[in-house]
Chain A
């Protein structure tokens, strides 16, 4: 790791806050429909009255409606980005594996299979039922991937974990396609849900997911010092008096809750959880307390930028954020893996 890149965490935090504000503004001001900045500002200025119901005519105006549409989208990107980045950090810590990412390790496709099975067989339809189905799916996937990687003893290699993720992924994809191919209605809902996007979330979905995500972040954050101890190795952590089992279980639960609820509201989005903790580790080093706090800021930035890019690249078409994150993520992943030294935690 190049030490010249290291900066103090506080500086990074300040820069991240500024960047987050900029990215939020960009997400509000730019879109597939280009608006004058003044229009956006005036629409935002009317926001309190609109929310209180004192401005009934507001949505009739096309430009104001567009701005109002961008607000939940921006909030979703922030919430989901934070959830995914923290989930990735927690997963990388628990598995001591740099390839920890909810998408890469099959948690997202587990959630997808859960949603499809719920839609097709159990008749779920409300947003909290879908969230529950996604959570159960991602839990099963997580248990499978990590359970299998433990067989034979010792910590799994990064590539071994990625491949067992790919296998679990493929198994869930087979289950999912078996359901969607025999049920036209489920296919219709699934194919929109399956492309990660922050633009279709409604207020009620957000209200369901936000407390869950908060809980997940708190669980992972509570295990941060445990993760720091684990990074030294199991024996060392034992010597420091850390209850490894309890800490692991706590972080693991947090990760599954985060990945499941983020996937439930935005669909599967890969690479955010992988890239953000890596980037932070490069900048401030391996202290998980900082990695998790900064993930909560940098994850939203990546997702906001990816979403805004997807909106302005080919207007009036929009490219879904689930596609843009992969297009950004794959080259960066290959670069990271190219330096074998950078892979060790």
Chain B
């Protein structure tokens, strides 16, 4: 192939990337608009801008400023955090199923929140902080277990497999804690705990939104940089070191960043099942199989916004938390991924 042809190919690829990103972000903004303006309580576009301008319209101002707008923004922010986290996990662990929600991070957050509810009587923001602590504790436990597994197994087993095993174990422990404590809560708390552990945008407040946004502002550029630095590692450790990269350090940084993003998102919305798992392959499919941090983030935001719209507005009287909707969509997709993976391994 001539040099000019290679250049042409690269240029086309870059253009496609830009187009995909622009389309995804436009779709995300449109979905946020739909979430705020439509539904069982509709707001007209002029009214919306008058509310944003500070005008007080009885009823509408309250619903938009206290419920719909923070809900849409937090949904987008948390979804983006889950999506980016999923992309980082998948790139490092090189397994489509290695995502923070399969590997105990969500279960750890749920265990932390439910434990705080039972032992400390936590509620509201307290639950968010407890969830954050639980998620980070789970991540540390996984890291600890998977490094100790390496010590024993020698060179056998790749990073992904050890991490997966430790993650499945930690997920089982977190699950057992949640179930054990759920049976001890009072009736009222049990209802709250069930909603929290399913994951929902019901308690979207501006405080939480600010927390997630601050983390995202720092984490998005960091994730793009780390993801770029990971590229040499995908060529294999020997070649990566030869190219002057430090795969170990970069991989640790990427996983750490992924854990922080997943933990913060989980703390603010509860463990929304499968968002991290789903957004990466969907975004990759749009880009001919190449994993992109930004595209995954946008897809994650879209999934959460759509799931919340369906759960809260489109099921009539039964208002379901967004996490139930994502879980119901996620299970078949995960199974499809497994089948794909087996086909890939065979061919």
Contact = CB atoms under 8 A, between A and B. Distances in A.
Interface of A: 104, 148, 151-154, 156, 159-160, 162-164, 166-168, 170-171, 173-175, 177-178, 180-182, 184, 187-188, 191-192, 194-195, 270, 319-320, 322-323, 326-327, 329-331, 333-334, 337-340
A151 B274 CA distance: 22
Contacts of A171: 327-328, 330-332
A327 B330 contact: no
19 contacts: A148-B335, A152-B339, A153-B346, A160-B341, A163-B334, A168-B331, A171-B327, A171-B331, A177-B323, A178-B328, A181-B195, A181-B321, A188-B190, A191-B179, A191-B182, A191-B185, A322-B179, A330-B170, A334-B149
Given A170-B334, A175-B328, A323 B165 contact: no
Contact residues on B (Cβ < 8 Å of other chain), bracket: 35 or more
Central interface residue in B149, B320, B323, B331, by most chain A CB within 10 Å: B331
Contacts of A195: 179-180, 182-183
A195 B97 CA distance: 27
Given A171-B327, A178-B324, A334-B169, A159 B149 contact: no
A170 B274 contact: yes
Contacts of A322: 176, 179-180
Contacts of A162: 168
A163 B187 CA distance: 33
B334 A320 contact: no
Contacts of B176: 270, 322-323, 326-327
Interface in B221-258: none
A272 B318 CA distance: 38
Contact of A191 (B149, B153, B183): B183
Contacts of A191: 179, 182-183, 185, 190, 194
A327 B320 contact: no
Nearest to A196: B179
B323 to A, nearest CB: 8
Central interface residue in B152, B169, B183, by most chain A CB within 10 Å: B183
Nearest to A317: B184
Contact of B180 (A152, A156, A320): A320
Contact of A181 (B169, B187, B320): B320
Contacts of A188: 187, 190
B164 A334 contact: no
B335 A174 contact: no
Nearest to B182: A191
Contact of B335 (A168, A175, A187): A168
B105 interface: no
B7 interface: no
Nearest to B321: A181
B180 A174 contact: no
B115 to A, nearest CB: 12
Q: Give the dominant DSSP class at B's interface.
A: helix
B166 A323 contact: no
A187 B172 CA distance: 21
Contacts of A320: 180, 183
B342 interface: yes
A156 B343 CA distance: 11
B149 A338 contact: yes
Given A148-B338, A178-B320, A181-B320, A170 B198 contact: no
Interface string B266-279: 00000001100000
A198 B160 CA distance: 37
B102 interface: yes
B179 to A, nearest CB: 5
A326 B176 CA distance: 7
A148 B339 contact: yes
Contacts of A333: 169
Contacts of A166: 102, 168, 171, 334
B157 interface: yes
Nearest to B337: A167
Contact of B164 (A151, A159, A181, A330): A159
B180 A338 contact: no
Given A156-B342, A159-B165, A339-B153, 10 more contacts: A148-B335, A159-B164, A171-B331, A173-B273, A181-B320, A188-B187, A192-B183, A327-B176, A334-B149, A338-B153
Contact of A319 (B169, B180, B195, B330): B180
A182 B335 contact: no
A167 B195 contact: no
Contact of A152 (B165, B172, B318, B342): B342
Contacts of B328: 171, 174-175, 178
Nearest to B180: A323
B335 A181 contact: no
A103 B273 CA distance: 19
Given A170-B273, A195-B179, A330-B169, A160 B335 contact: no
A189 to B, nearest CB: 11
A141 to B, nearest CB: 11
B44 interface: no
A162 B274 CA distance: 17
Nearest to B102: A166
Interface string B8-23: 0000000000000000
B194 A174 contact: no
B122 interface: no
B313 interface: no
A117 to B, nearest CB: 14
Contact of A167 (B145, B156, B323, B335): B335
A323 B181 CA distance: 10
A194 B179 CA distance: 7
A291 B157 CA distance: 29
Contacts of A339: 153
A152 B335 CA distance: 13
B16 to A, nearest CB: 31
A154 B273 CA distance: 30
B173 interface: yes
B177 interface: yes
Contacts of B172: 104, 270, 326, 329-330
B191 A184 contact: yes
